[in-house]
Chain A
């Protein structure tokens, strides 16, 4: 259909202009603030060049938060996929369609909950004295166990909640993807006496390679913003054992010292890292689609 109309301009231009303002004003200002020595309590500020970035390199707490973020990223992405794919296969193999659809609705529930709610539900369940989740441990050992106050277990405990929300949601997505696959390759493999796990390892999962990889990307981005969960469950503690980058930037810029310029330099680094990663992934995904 060929119509001469200004509709595309009328419909896109105002929205894109608004989005551009909303997105670029904060990002450019983030860079601007990062180059100053601005303090929340003091409106006067000077340009100090890259002093904030130089200070970051020598800040052990910043380096700690980078390694905590990397550990969190690897732990939650891996755990989410390791829960989602096997659970989806089990759902697909062992439950009749009606039950499966019901369970799929149920498994979406945790992801719909506000992260604050999910964090409180589990903080309550992990309470050392009367938490339901640690009750069996309490029975066996006879003493209260505070998983969130122990630097060795705190991150794993928070990660459980993250996987509770995302692993189950992804399991539902993978089930729906399995349902769209054609049946013939499966039946052919069964005739050849392939075992169930072989069918999935060599046929189903390779067929779903592209969507599974995009799920990994989605989770990588999502794991970067686990702030709410960590804020409610541990506040970065015990000590700085679960202090991720965004948690540290928040406490530098907001709670402890109001060093907004210093926090902003961290924000700029995070933005640069995600923008580069995203651009590379986008190019890569497009090539994937075209082949």
Chain B
């Protein structure tokens, strides 16, 4: 009896937690389709005449389009750089006995611990001096630090999880070390590696502080453009703001499935390994 009661209470708490995720997000989605009069009501309105005005306004704004293009180019390039240079490095650390392997891991992880503001402030001066301040190149180079360190850190365990026997068998079959990496190890670890790369993408797509400090107009990314929506007029245009929040949040959410299974498999093998 007591066990049943406590189980019901436990389920209630879990249900409340789930609602705390769903309701604010659902409300944001609803408000993106509301007219201003339906948002600015003392009693929250669940039923209303939907409008596409907010969404169209956001999509048609020049600054949003520029921000979207900047975000896609900047995160695309830096993720690519992170993968091209990070994956081989992670493989070498995972598979070859090196005296510096531990130092590399320490260095790479310590980069994730650096406060972004501490990097961004000197970089303002550096990029101003080189004449690349407020450019996509400056952002891509700066973000590569994030994507490289993240990709390496997450890919090392992914490569270690590949059974060594497969690679040894390939060696016996006459594959060279590079062929083993490209033809055997990469495909075998592909699923986890994609998870690692997607994770680095979400990280730079969501990045705010560095972009805020390193851009003023030309290279602004989408999070910066969205954060400036509050300055459109005297009143905060909440409908438009909600629509831009949705646009900004869609890309990371597209990868929800990939990342959630990446998380599960990373934690499962942790125990056995």
Report A's interface with B, CB cutoff 8 A: 1, 3, 5, 7-8, 10-12, 14-16, 18-20, 22-23, 25-27, 29-30, 32-33, 38, 40, 87, 90-91, 93-95, 103-110, 112-117, 120-122, 124-125, 127, 129-130, 132-133, 135, 138, 164, 168, 171-173, 176-177, 180, 196, 211, 221, 224-225, 227-228, 231-232, 245-246, 249-250, 253-254, 260, 263-264, 267-268, 270-271, 274-275, 278-279, 282
Give residues of chain B (242-259) contacting chain A, Cβ–Cβ below 8 Å: 242, 245, 248-249, 252-253, 255-257, 259
Give complex CA distance A278, B43 in Å: 49
Q: Which of B52-60, B140-148, B186-194 forms contacts with chain A?
A: B140-148
Tell me which residues across on chain B come within 8 A of A94, comparing CB atoms: 7, 10-11, 14
B10: which of A38, A93, A110 is its contact (CB, 8 Å)?
Answer: A93
Tell me which residues across on chain A come within 8 A of B13, comparing CB atoms: 87, 90
Instruction: Say whether B88 contacts A267, CB under 8 Å.
Output: no
Give complex CA distance A125, B149 in Å: 36
- CB within 8 Å for A129 and B40 given contacts A12-B104, A27-B118, A90-B14: yes
Report B's interface with A, CB cutoff 8 A: 6-7, 10-11, 13-14, 17-18, 20-25, 27-28, 31, 39-44, 85-86, 88-89, 91-93, 96, 98, 104, 106-119, 121-126, 141-142, 144-145, 148-149, 152, 164, 167-168, 171, 176-178, 181, 202, 205-206, 208-209, 212-213, 223, 226-227, 238, 241-242, 245, 248-249, 252-253, 255-257, 259-260, 263-264, 267-268, 270-271
Instruction: Say whether B241 contacts A180, CB under 8 Å.
Output: no
| Closest residue of B by beta carbon distance from A9 | B92
A115: which of B20, B96, B125, B206 is its contact (CB, 8 Å)?
Answer: B206
A246: which of B22, B168, B177, B209 is its contact (CB, 8 Å)?
Answer: B209
Give complex CA distance A135, B11 in Å: 25
Instruction: Say whether A11 contacts B263, CB under 8 Å.
Output: no
- CB within 8 Å for A3 and B171 given contacts A106-B21, A108-B259, A180-B268: yes
Q: Which of A5, A12, A225, A228 is the most central at the interface, judged by chain B CB atoms within 10 Å of its CB? A: A12
Give complex CA distance A274, B13 in Å: 36
Secondary structure type dominating chain A contacts? helix
Instruction: Say whether B256 contacts A7, CB under 8 Å.
Output: no
Instruction: Say whether B249 contacts A104, CB under 8 Å.
Output: no
Instruction: Say whether B24 contacts A125, CB under 8 Å.
Output: yes
List 3 A-B pairs, minimum CB-CB distance, nearest first: A267-B118, A114-B206, A11-B92
Instruction: Say whether B248 contacts A114, CB under 8 Å.
Output: yes
B122: which of A29, A107, A124, A130 is its contact (CB, 8 Å)?
Answer: A29
Instruction: Say whether B41 contacts A176, CB under 8 Å.
Output: no
- CB within 8 Å for A109 and B25 given contacts A29-B126, A114-B249: yes
Instruction: Say whether A249 contacts B96, CB under 8 Å.
Output: no
| Closest residue of B by beta carbon distance from A94 | B10
Tell me which residues across on chain A come within 8 A of B121, comparing CB atoms: 30, 33, 249, 253, 260, 263-264, 267
Tell me which residues across on chain B come within 8 A of A125, comparing CB atoms: 24, 27
Instruction: Say whether A7 contacts B181, CB under 8 Å.
Output: yes
Tell me which residues across on chain B come within 8 A of A95, comparing CB atoms: 11, 14
Minimum C-beta distance from A60 to chain B (A): 20
Instruction: Say whether A180 contacts B271, CB under 8 Å.
Output: yes
Tell me which residues across on chain A come within 8 A of B248, comparing CB atoms: 114, 116-117
- CB within 8 Å for A14 and B256 given contacts A1-B171, A106-B22, A116-B208: no
Secondary structure type dominating chain B contacts? helix
- CB within 8 Å for A115 and B41 given contacts A30-B118, A106-B22: no
| Closest residue of A by beta carbon distance from B238 | A124
A130: which of B44, B167, B270 is its contact (CB, 8 Å)?
Answer: B44
Known contacts A30-B121, A112-B253, A124-B28; 8 additional CB pairs below 8 A are A19-B145, A26-B126, A104-B260, A108-B260, A120-B245, A125-B27, A164-B20, A253-B121
Instruction: Say whether B260 contacts A132, CB under 8 Å.
Output: no
Minimum C-beta distance from A6 to chain B (A): 9
Give complex CA distance A71, B105 in Å: 31
Instruction: Say whether B110 contacts A278, CB under 8 Å.
Output: yes
Give complex CA distance A135, B196 in Å: 41
- CB within 8 Å for A11 and B115 given contacts A29-B126, A106-B22, A173-B263: no
Tell me which residues across on chain B come within 8 A of A246, comparing CB atoms: 115-117, 209
Tell me which residues across on chain B come within 8 A of A115, comparing CB atoms: 206, 208
Minimum C-beta distance from A193 to chain B (A): 12
Give complex CA distance A16, B104 in Å: 8
Instruction: Say whether B24 contacts A117, CB under 8 Å.
Output: no
Instruction: Say whether A176 contacts B267, CB under 8 Å.
Output: yes
| Closest residue of A by beta carbon distance from B89 | A15
Tell me which residues across on chain A come within 8 A of B202, comparing CB atoms: 112
Give complex CA distance A108, B245 in Å: 18
Instruction: Say whether B25 contacts A121, CB under 8 Å.
Output: yes
Tell me which residues across on chain A come within 8 A of B116, comparing CB atoms: 225, 227, 246
Tell me which residues across on chain B come within 8 A of A177, comparing CB atoms: 267
